[in-house]
């Protein structure tokens, strides 16, 4: 973000303020991810994958919505067990890995243009 903040454009100022404020609020409520405080960039990643699918590793999985669980109602469940049928028609491509460094380089490069 420091690199983006140096750009001093309307977009860079907005993004650095927004990210900074979001991280402050996350810290205030005690949120922390596995190793850092932050948030995911689902929408920008989806756009980046539409432009360059090699950013992610996909796996065809059966995914269902849990409708009966007391703690999991409404959650999606991906069946990664090896016994699932190869002829299953209900498979969807699920992202199981992201080249996050390459994605962030692409994302920051796009933001820095403005």
Active site residues: 42
Q: 21: which residues sit within 8 A by CB, 6+ positions away?
A: none
Give the DSSP per-residue string, 7-47.
T-SHHHHHHHHHHHHHHHHHHHTT---SSSS----HHHHHH
């Amino acid at each position: 973000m420091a690199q983006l903040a140096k750009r001093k454009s309307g977009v860079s100022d907005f993004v650095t303020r927004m990210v900074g404020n979001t991280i402050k609020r996350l810290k205030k409520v005690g949120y922390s991810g596995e190793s850092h405080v932050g948030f995911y960039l689902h929408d920008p990643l989806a756009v980046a994958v539409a432009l360059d699918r090699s950013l992610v590793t996909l796996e065809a999985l059966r995914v269902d919505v849990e409708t009966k669980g007391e703690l999991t109602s409404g959650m999606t469940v991906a069946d990664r067990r090896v016994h699932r049928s190869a002829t299953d028609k209900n498979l969807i491509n699920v992202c199981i890995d992201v080249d996050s460094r390459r994605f962030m380089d692409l994302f920051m490069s796009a933001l820095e243009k403005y």
